[in-house]
Amino acid sequence: MSLSVGDVAPEFSLPDQDKHVVSLADLRGRPVLVVFYPFAFSGICTGELCQLRDELAGYTEAGVEVVAISTDPTFSLKAFREKEGFEFPLLSDFWPHGDTARAYGVFNDKAGMALRGTFLVDADGTIAFAEVNQPGDPRAQSGWKDAVAALPTAA
């Protein structure tokens, strides 16, 4: 079962495409958009992450950190990031395989991959937006933008 709005976001510490560890705890104090996707280089995933890349300024200008997580190894993520020019970290949930996706309730055991789960974690670590799409079901990112717009602004 995936997480819902109001739940505390599970902590994670995962290597990025350059093997630098990124922890949710280190990002505390600002909102974080956590985007799970099945596989690097797959058609729908590439389209979704390229749209996120192209619209990244809308998130960063709102003070939102963006991280994308898949069960791919870091080597694949590095090649994917370089090919597509992503400026946000691609995190590897490769080993223990899918543990972070499981914690968020978006791991597909039969396929060994993350579902298309999207979670906006507020500055305090609470889920402010949650959406899970099944394999082959692309996400509409308008909901993410609405959730970011609804975040309280810093005083």
User: What is the C-alpha separation between 101 and 108, in angstroms, rounded?
Assistant: 9
Catalytic (active site) residue 45: yes
Catalytic residue, candidates 45, 49, 64, 66? 45
Q: Of 82, 93, 120, 95, whose CA–CA distance to 39 is shortest? A: 93
At a CB cut-off of 8 Å and minimum separation 6, what does 32 contact?
Answer: 9, 24, 64, 65, 66, 67, 120, 121
Q: Of 61, 33, 29, whose CA–CA distance to 125 is shortest? A: 29
Alpha helices in the chain (DSSP H): 43-54, 56-60, 74-84, 99-103, 142-150
Q: Indicate which residues carry an active-site annotation.
A: 45
